[in-house]
Amino acid sequence: MQKARIGGLATAAVMALTGGALAAPTAARAAEAAYFGVRTHGSYHDLVLKLTDPEKIAKARAILSGEEKNTTHLLGRIKKTPADYNPHYSFHVDPDTVSFFEVAIEVCDATLPYVEDHLDEVGGAFLPGAYFCPWSSQLTGEIKV
């Protein structure tokens, strides 16, 4: 019960800090998919993000071009399943939940290698609600899949 309460509080805090930016896009806004690489401290391989929302795709491209300098770090919910476009990790980030942030709470901060090594714990006390906001995350480029 205590873990559920902590997870609920952490989820509420993440939503408050990001302005509720994890809402799913409507079908009308869906577009061709674009893929972007992300790394954190200690990662040797890119995590590949799939984006389908035109606004999020434009935001990612603005980050890569240097036009966007503030909200540049990844925020999203981890899915504990592999994705064919993300070959180096046994998890992926749900495309409908991806957004970018400048500052976030520590409870959702982790590196890619740590998430991979502790994937069975994601969603409990570690990364409550499966929200992932690696402070050291950086987009590395747009990827052709």
Q: How confident is the model at residue 31 (pLDDT cuts 50, 70, 90)?
A: low
pTM of the model: 0.79
Tens digit of pLDDT for each residue in 52-98?
999 999 999 999 999 999 999 999 999 999 999 999 999 999 999 99
Where are the alpha helices (H) located in the chain, listed in sequence order?
A: 2-18, 54-65, 112-117
Joined tokens for residue 11: 């989820």
Task: Return the domain boundaries, the chain.
Answer: 2-143
pLDDT of residue 145: 87
* Angstrom distance (rounded) from CA 114 to CA 101: 20
The string of pLDDT tens digits covering residues 35-61 is 999 999 999 999 999 999 999 999 999
Judged by phi (left if over 0) then psi (alpha if -120 to 50, else beta), residue 33 lies in beta
How high is the pLDDT of residue 105?
A: 82
Mean pLDDT, rounded, of the chain: 86
How high is the pLDDT of residue 130?
97
